[in-house]
């Protein structure tokens, strides 16, 4: 009887180890692992659909968060095109990912302007804006620096931090993705966060 119980206990342990091993494998990222970072707090901003949106709205999805502006001549459209490619490469998993574009130029980037820009890259992407002080506060929470630079003719451009952040399905900040990271690396990291 003791031998039978020992055998059953060993079989049960082996079964539990096999069942737990895939979920127990550590996540590996191509971007910078910032799990446990003390910044990047929740926020609520106005979406390009005119409705309030916050990180909590996307529980259950991996989230890619990028700060930019619609008049940006290079970094922002390049990053948005990269995320467009990321979504294509994710295939069916793309529906479990939310890309959020937060403007650093709320004076010009109204919900209407964002609605004409952000969905151009992918209809699932969401553009976010808000009062200038609120945008400044949210950007500061994510250590994003944005500063106006005058241009000829009385206009301005905005110099800003160019990386993006990835959140897991529980809404925890996990990865920093520097500007110009290969699409395949972003796809890899999002697949890790979707496990």
For the chain, the first-to-last Cα distance in angstroms comes to 41
Q: What is the pLDDT of residues 70-125, one digit of tens each?
A: 999 999 999 999 999 999 999 999 999 999 999 999 999 999 999 999 999 999 99
- Residue 190 sits in a domain whose CATH number is 3.40.30.10
> Is 90 within a domain?
yes
Q: What is the pLDDT of residues 116-165, one digit of tens each?
A: 999 999 999 999 999 999 999 999 999 999 999 999 988 999 999 999 99
d(CA 53, CA 45): 5
Total count of domains within the chain: 1
> Is 8 within a domain?
no
The answer to whether 186 and 177 have CB atoms below 8 angstroms apart is yes
**Structural domain boundaries, residue 154:** 29-194
> Is 73 within a domain?
yes
Paired strand residues for 53 = 45
């Amino acid at each position: 009887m003791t031998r039978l119980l020992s055998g059953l206990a060993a079989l049960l342990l082996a079964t539990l180890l096999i069942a737990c091993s895939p979920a127990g494998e550590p996540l590996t990222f191509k971007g910078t692992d910032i799990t446990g970072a003390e910044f990047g707090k929740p926020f609520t901003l106005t979406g390009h659909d005119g409705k309030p949106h916050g990180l909590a709205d996307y529980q259950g999805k991996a989230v890619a968060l990028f700060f930019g502006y619609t008049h940006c001549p290079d970094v922002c459209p390049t990053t948005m095109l990269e995320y467009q490619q990321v979504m294509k490469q994710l295939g069916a998993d793309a529906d479990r990912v939310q890309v959020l574009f937060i403007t650093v130029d709320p004076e010009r980037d109204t919900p209407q302007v964002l609605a004409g820009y952000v969905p151009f890259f992918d209809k699932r992407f969401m553009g976010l804006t808000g009062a200038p002080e609120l945008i400044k506060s949210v950007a500061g929470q994510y250590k994003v620096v944005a500063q106006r630079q005058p241009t000829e003719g009385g206009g301005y451009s905005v110099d800003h931090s160019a990386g993006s952040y990835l959140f897991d399905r529980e809404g925890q900040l996990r990865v920093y993705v520097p500007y110009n990271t290969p699409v395949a690396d972003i796809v890899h990291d999002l697949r890790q966060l979707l496990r």
